[in-house]
Structure 1
Amino acid sequence: MNTQRAIDVRQLINDRPLGAYQLWVVFLGFLIIGLDGLDVAIMGFIAPQLKADWNLSTQALGPVLSAALVGLAAGALIAGPLADRFGRRIVLVSSVFFFGFWTLATAFSSDVTQMVILRLLTGLGLGAAMPNASTLVSEFAPDKRRSFLVTVAFAGFSAGAAGGGFLSAWMIPAFGWHSMLLFGGALPLLVAPLLWLLLPESISFLVAQGAPAARVRRIVERIAPGASSAQSHFCLPSAPVTAKTSVGLILSPHYRFGTLMVWAGYFLALFLVYLFSSWLPMLVKEGGGYGVGEAALVTALFQIGGPAGALFVGWSMDRFNPYKVLVLAFAGSAALIFCIGQATTHFLLLCVFACGIGFGLNGTSVGMNALATCFYPTQARATGASWMSGIGRFGAILSAFAGAQMMALGWSFPQMFAALTLPALLGALVIAAKGLARQRRPQALGAVSR
């Protein structure tokens, strides 16, 4: 090839088969999100033993469990603009070190107040890691496989949380609840230096920032050996620059409506995912009249459906209209949520519907992350994905209060689930609205054209 002309790095990635180096980046993204999943879930694993050892009430335990969610929201809002200014790599490595350090410090908490503060600080790092990991993976992925590879990286969250569950079942009885925090903090601290050595910077970011051609070429040669020479220079598809900052860009007239719609969609998706994760056992036990074991089984099946749903939705988004896929996932989840409310006396159907709801809701939440990385240009991709994640976390926080309020109102089992169809249907509507607006408006260069 003629190496004297400019090489479009996005076209280079799109025109080649997926290579080993790109799969390596996906694995590192999976690892980062897996560590994130472990440390997000860790307080749930230690909560029963912590409550007994410190003689805490359920009300006193609430802030301990929810503090990280507040930190997650703040961390995502802060980290996105930083990643668009200073790079994905430095923010990711720093976030892993940050949440590892504060998780380790949490093991030495002496009271509830101290633990809440430390979990809030931990959440800042956790919130920075996930959306920026997905951004980095998306920028090494070819467009035709981007959504699926992002969802593969996101499968790390379930793997990390599940692995933490198995470890806690052994470690807490043997060594106490402190041991899980020590492990959950030490592991990221050990991984962070390795990430600094092994994790590449996004070539799209480097080109957008005008980095030296030699630095870009080193990464290009790992992706496509022989595709460039010392005389090559690199470029990206041009994107309309309508603002001086990444936050200004995602809120500019060209992106504003889409931004508001992805915020609303992700808010609703996380509201439902966290509400079902937290409240389904109690809803099945008290609303359905089942025992603790049966309620736990229904909830476990909800969680089992999640990874399969995420991968299926990501695969489908690469092959079909991504907006239609997400609308169907939201609408299908709404139908299953209504059905589970009508299956009070049929335990087998409860299990089937719970698995289906986990499939659909987790598919929508992870699919929304893939959609955000496709919607925004390189100059604001990390901010767009991170701010969507940060706004969505408020839906997760609200779910705790909504579940408690439904229980306090004394609604019947069918009434509770009939009410929960509404946010799922609203999610379908906002994604449909964004898809229709996208059809009427020209695609911005620099984002993925569907």
Structure 2
Amino acid sequence: MSSTDKNNTVDVQAFIDSQPVTRFQWRVLLLCFLVTAIDGLDTAAIGFIAPALREHWQIGAPELGPVLGAALVGLMLGAFMAGPLADRFGRKRVLLLSVACFGVFSLAAAFAQDLHSLALLRLLTGLGLGGAMPNAITLTSEYCPQRRRSLMVTGMFCGFTLGSALGGVVAAQLLPVFGWRSVLALGGVLPLALLPVLWFALPESVRFLARRNPADCKALAIVRRIGVLPVGCQGVRIDDAVEGHSPVRQILAAPLRRGTLALWLAFFMSLLIIYGMTNWLPLLVRDTGLSLSQAALISALFQIGGTLGALCLGAAMDRFEPHSVLMLALLGGAACLFAIGQCHGDYVLLGLSVAGMGFCISGSQVGANALAAAFYPTSSRATGVSWAHGVGRVGSVCGTFGGALLMDAGLSFELLFSVLMLPAVLAAAAIFLKGVRPAPALPANTHLMP
């Protein structure tokens, strides 16, 4: 873009940074929060109904495994596919398609007549779930001012954990009266009901529109809802435009490669721990001699700590150097994992250690979403965030099955949690390496080298 053109346009991010946060931007955040909340409910639904499925079809855990794992595979595939599509066709389009996908197939799963069809429908549901989350993160981040981006993104992401928790409460009420099918049906009806609201009330990313056409009237109309444009302004622009190559090649090209690989390692290791703890912590704690209710409370503290951690670490990332915040938190999480192994005989100390582990590990993972969204240019941001999620989903599968292997190996409670310190330390190292020499801001019309 020529200097004359620049004199007649405003840089979208600089303009957003110069304005107070408006009701329009809070609306974007709220709508994305609702998407992630329903995403969380649908993702966790199969876990809530697993005991009912086992009784309904009179099956054991091995037969139930494919049903439980199908959505995780779908989540991984959906994340890998949705990012490049969103960078090409728009965040809103792919987000709406993802919401429609997991709504339709979750509703269809409520009418499944056998385990094979239920597993297939959960796989298809997972495709939508995997595409919705990273696009909600990307869209939210592109309407946030730099000074508050981390807190706003992590606050929006808390919808996922709250949705998961709410799903457990709702499932407890529905299962005894209406059975397991009602939980899946609710997981289908809610996103389909939200879909028309998103269609009319959720805007496309203004950064995406500006990249496609600086004089786009829709982009100008959106920017005017954030603040008053300078006199004579005829368009909007982004100053991180990157020309050439597909989004996938962009995130793996020289300027971004190291940061991308570091984020992948951090996401993989963090989600390995999170899903390992989510699936196996109640059983591990129960085996120490605590009651079922005590084990359930300890597990709930992990989720509560994660939600508080996301908000606190998000605020800290906006105030201090974000890589340092996440690295220290992950190292703190490793210390909490060690403490869990040593304090399992003391109920209060065990609860505090688990809450601290959730605060540090789960909170850091949410913060890493904001870090990823800020790292990539507009042309590949959705791909960068989505592919980090996709690699993280591989870690979640490894954490789920790896936990079973560690338990079968007969490791002591102390040794098992000492082993789990390793992925936390590796995640911290990955964040450190990414932050040592952050990739410089990409000037306009940059050509990436392979």
- TM > 0.5: yes
1:283-362 to 2 correspondence within 5 Å?
A: 283-286=284-287, 288-362=288-362
Matched, 1:374 2:378: no
Contact 1:221–1:228 (CA<8 Å) still a contact in 2? no
1:179-328 to 2 correspondence within 5 Å?
A: 179-210=182-213, 212-224=215-227, 226-227=228-229, 232-241=234-243, 243-286=244-287, 288-328=288-328
Give the TM-score, by structure 1 length: 0.95
Give distance in 2, aligned partners of 1:404 and 1:214: 55
Give distance in 1, aligned partners of 2:217 and 2:162: 37
Distance of aligned partners of 1:252 and 1:294 in 2 relative to their CA distance in 1, 3 Å threshold:
same
Give the superposition deviation at 1:132: 0.5
Q: Percent identity at matched positions?
A: 46
Q: Alignment partner of 1:234: what SS?
A: strand
Structure 1: gaps (5+ residues): none
Q: Alignment partner of 1:443: what SS?
A: coil
1:145 to 142, 145, 148: 148
Q: Alignment partner of 1:7: what SS?
A: strand
1:37-48 to 2 correspondence within 5 Å?
A: 37-48=40-51
CA offsets 1:129-175 (integer angstroms, 9 cap, x no match): 00100100000000111111100110110121111111111111111
Structure 2: gaps (5+ residues): 1-5, 445-450
1:381-396 to 2 correspondence within 5 Å?
A: 381-396=381-396
Aligned partner letter, 1:370 = A
Give distance in 2, aligned partners of 1:282 and 1:21: 45
CA offsets 1:242-300 (integer angstroms, 9 cap, x no match): x42111100101111110000000000100111111110111122x2323222112111
Paired position in structure 1 for 2:3: none
Give the superposition deviation at 1:213: 2.8
Paired position in structure 1 for 2:420: 420
Aligned partner letter, 2:147 = K
Give the superposition deviation at 1:238: 3.7
Give distance in 1, aligned partners of 2:218 and 2:26: 20
Aligned partner letter, 2:294 = E
CA offsets 1:207-243 (integer angstroms, 9 cap, x no match): 111164311111111111x3257862111114454x4
Give distance in 2, aligned partners of 1:178 and 1:228: 56
Paired position in structure 1 for 2:88: 85
Paired position in structure 2 for 1:433: 433
Paired position in structure 1 for 2:79: 76
Q: Alignment partner of 1:165: what SS?
A: helix
In the alignment of these two chains, the number of paired residues is 440
Matched, 1:103 2:106: yes
Give distance in 1, aligned partners of 2:440 and 2:85: 28
| Range with greater deviation from structure 2 (378-387 or 164-173) | 164-173
CA offsets 1:52-77 (integer angstroms, 9 cap, x no match): 11111011111111110100010000
Give the TM-score, by structure 2 length: 0.95
Structure 1 runs, 4 residues or longer, greater than 3 Å off: 228-231, 238-241
Give distance in 2, aligned partners of 1:433 and 1:228: 41
Give the superposition deviation at 1:26: 0.5
Distance of aligned partners of 1:125 and 1:211 in 2 relative to their CA distance in 1, 3 Å threshold:
farther
